Amino acid sequence: MAKKQFKAESKRLLELMINSIYTNKEIFLRELVSNASDALDKRYYLSLTQPEHRVEKEDLKIRIERHPEERTLVIEDTGIGMTDKEMETNLGTIARSGSAEFREKLEKGEDNIDIIGQFGVGFYSAFMVAQKITVESRSAESDTAFRWTSTGQDGYTIEPSEKETAGTRITLWLKEDTEDEKYSEYLEEQKIRDLVKKYSDYVRYPIVMEVSKSIPDPSDKDNDIITVEDETLNSMIPLWKKNKNEISSEDYNEFYKSKFNDWQDPQKVIHYSVEGNLSYTALLFIPAKTPYDFYQADYKSGLQLYSKGVFILDKAKDLIPEAFRFVTGLIDSDDLNLNISREILQQDRQVKALASSVEKRIQRALEDMLKNEREEYEKFFENFGLNIKYDIYRSFGANAEKYRDLLLYRSSKDNEFVSLKEYKERMPEDQKYIWFASGSAIDEIEKMPALEKVRDKGYEILYFTDAVDEFVVSMMTEYDGVQFRSVSKGDLDLDTEEEKKEREEKAEQNKDMLSLMKEALDDKVREVRISSRLKDDPVVLVSDEGMSIEMEKVLSQNPENRGMMKAVKILEINPNHPVFSTLQKVFEQDQDKLKEYAGVLYDQACLIEGLPIDDPVEYARRIADLMIQATK
Ligand code: ADP
């Protein structure tokens, strides 16, 4: 029979498992039971929705067999089973959702033990304790069974086999005991009992094992009669149906990790029940880390949906609003129809009501966290805040009112996170706007010439470093009656009447010079004007109302938009900078030279803004000329 090879990264993972010195090998049982439970869920759902595949609920179970003589442990389920093709794809590669991240860690050669602790879950973990594994399976939708066999790294075989009923039977040939590892303990009744209680108690199908019972012998009081009988090892009460005060945080964490394919404890658990028109229980989790593919288009969000404890759907998107799509977990409702499908879910009124109730709960949990566990909230926001911003933008501001108080920004005040509410509360009385400055990084923003005047006034400035920030603000326009204002857009509206008058006079006096400069720059700028925002720098490029320069940069990253989206730019000159008087002199002596200087200053302003300059060679040549002239 031809041996097939595992996919490359699966091979590496297997190698790790086989040679593992990981101390927590016992988790293999949790993984196999969890797979069996998933398979039973699928079978039951099929039975409910397609009458020809009907099964009785009593027939859905997991059986564990111990065979000490053969040193084998068997985990069998009456679940959905697998065809030969499914065996090939499911058992030949790592199916885990964290596999890309896992691969990365493998490549970096991170500590193996860590990798197993974090990722070494799933079917392959059985190779930590077994030297050979067979998987005999018959799909519920097929009459033929197959057997998958592997001793690990050197590949696997798949061959036809016999199996009376649908489901999967996994046999582990345990490794030989060593000084440090007693694999034979997995053949002990008590050990299996303990492991099932510890990791799989909440599994909603019976996990049955043959156990020996001793009862006193009535005819011989010194001896007991030993009988063998089947016993269900788990309580089968789903974790979410248990009383909250009976659940430890460890229980939640284990449950989360085994069910939602994460290797870290969740950051936050939200567990509650609602009684009323639509009764339901929710057990929701906020991951402690952003999933590596969270912002990729094919990331699948959504909650598991159960009806009266029966699993219906995975990744049901309609149960959770986009803004909170980082939440995973499940909803169990007694009032939902079992036959609900993904399509119905979208239109169903009950589901809509449910989703809106879930949304409110999550929102409240986040608000509470912001209020009472600031540090935790900031961690959360670093992970998922961007998603909330996107949602406000994508809803064209419709969701702004709802979510704006969840937003945090770094600001000029100690570089700490600040909420809009806090910002507003600590605004000096004479401050009229919520100020912001945009750039790709904080230290870049802090150096922006346009910032100076606002900062000097003692006004706090929000630092916008996410590409979406300005777009969000353009949708919100104001917070609680206070408008947002960019330090590098339009008129700052900071001057006193006197300063304004002075500036207008200066503009009038230098009108001809400014318009000659504008003429030299042609349509690169709409205007060259006297600046009211500069202190130490000679020039700055700002934008008029409408699109900002930062937005132009963001939009032009999309090749489709390149060159189409342009901010209306204005070159501002600092009238108090020595360069200004130089310009005045040059204007009187040599107008061609003034035009040339206008070009240099414009290029400089572009560089400060992080915009490309049209002709770097020409710019360099002019700077060199200026140096030579300076010493003439
Ligand atoms: P995961 O459970 O995270 O998907 P695993 O490596 O544990 O990863 O399992 C890979 C796949 O093999 C599962 O997704 C499932 O499709 C299939 N599988 C594993 N065990 C069983 C089983 N007992 N019955 C049916 N299919 C199974």
Please tell me the predicted confidence (pLDDT) of residue 351. Answer: 85
d(CA 90, ligand 1 centre) in Å? 6
Please tell me the predicted confidence (pLDDT) of residue 120. Answer: 44
Our mutation pick for probing the ligand 1 site, out of 30, 38, 261, counting the most ligand atoms within 8 A of Cβ, is 38
Question: Which SS3 state, helix, strand or coil, does residue 563 take?
Answer: coil
Residues in Cβ contact with 175 at an 8 Å cutoff, skipping those fewer than 6 apart: 129, 130, 131, 181, 183
Judge contact between 225 and 215, C-beta under 8 A: yes
**Closest ligand 1 atom, residue 81 Cα:** 25
Residues in Cβ contact with 290 at an 8 Å cutoff, skipping those fewer than 6 apart: 326, 383, 384
d(CA 189, ligand 1 centre) in Å? 25
Whose alpha carbon is nearest atom 18 of ligand 1? 35
**CA atoms of 349 and 327, how far apart (whole Å):** 22
Whose alpha carbon is nearest atom 21 of ligand 1? 35
Summarised one tens digit per residue, pLDDT across range 482-509 is 999 999 888 888 888 998 999 999 999 9
Residues in Cβ contact with 13 at an 8 Å cutoff, skipping those fewer than 6 apart: 94, 102, 106, 119, 120, 124
**Closest ligand 1 atom, residue 122 Cα:** 7
Whose alpha carbon is nearest atom 25 of ligand 1? 81
d(CA 149, ligand 1 centre) in Å? 15
Which of 131, 134, 113 is closest to 178 using CA atoms? 131
**CA atoms of 66 and 208, how far apart (whole Å):** 12
**CA atoms of 430 and 423, how far apart (whole Å):** 14
d(CA 334, ligand 1 centre) in Å? 28
Please tell me the predicted confidence (pLDDT) of residue 321. Answer: 94
**Closest ligand 1 atom, residue 121 Cα:** 7
**CA atoms of 68 and 72, how far apart (whole Å):** 6
Please tell me the predicted confidence (pLDDT) of residue 266. Answer: 97
d(CA 81, ligand 1 centre) in Å? 10
Please tell me the predicted confidence (pLDDT) of residue 365. Answer: 97
Which residue shows structure tokens 């199996």?
163
Which of 281, 279, 323 is closest to 301 using CA atoms? 323
Cross-strand partners of 571: 528, 541
Whose alpha carbon is nearest atom 16 of ligand 1? 90
**Closest ligand 1 atom, residue 35 Cα:** 20
Our mutation pick for probing the ligand 1 site, out of 13, 87, 88, 123, counting the most ligand atoms within 8 A of Cβ, is 123
Please tell me the predicted confidence (pLDDT) of residue 560. Answer: 74
Which of 392, 436, 447, 380 is closest to 410 using CA atoms? 436
**Closest ligand 1 atom, residue 97 Cα:** 3
Please tell me the predicted confidence (pLDDT) of residue 311. Answer: 77
Convert 473-512 to b/e letters by CB count within 10 Å (16 or more is b).
bbbbeebeeeebbbbbbeebebbeeeeeeebeebeeebee
d(CA 502, ligand 1 centre) in Å? 76
Please tell me the predicted confidence (pLDDT) of residue 340. Answer: 66
Residues in the chain, pLDDT under 50: 95, 97, 120
Whose alpha carbon is nearest atom 19 of ligand 1? 35
d(CA 123, ligand 1 centre) in Å? 7
**Closest ligand 1 atom, residue 94 Cα:** 6
Whose alpha carbon is nearest atom 11 of ligand 1? 90
Please tell me the predicted confidence (pLDDT) of residue 165. Answer: 94
Whose alpha carbon is nearest atom 23 of ligand 1? 36
Lining ligand 1 with CB less than 6 A are 31, 35-36, 39, 77, 79-82, 90-91, 95-96, 122-123, 168, 261
Please tell me the predicted confidence (pLDDT) of residue 115. Answer: 54
Transcribe 221-261 into DSSP letters.
Answer: EEEEEEEEEEEE-S----GGGS-GGG--HHHHHHHHHHHTT
Query: Six-digit token pair at 80?
Result: 């959905």
Our mutation pick for probing the ligand 1 site, out of 40, 90, 97, counting the most ligand atoms within 8 A of Cβ, is 90
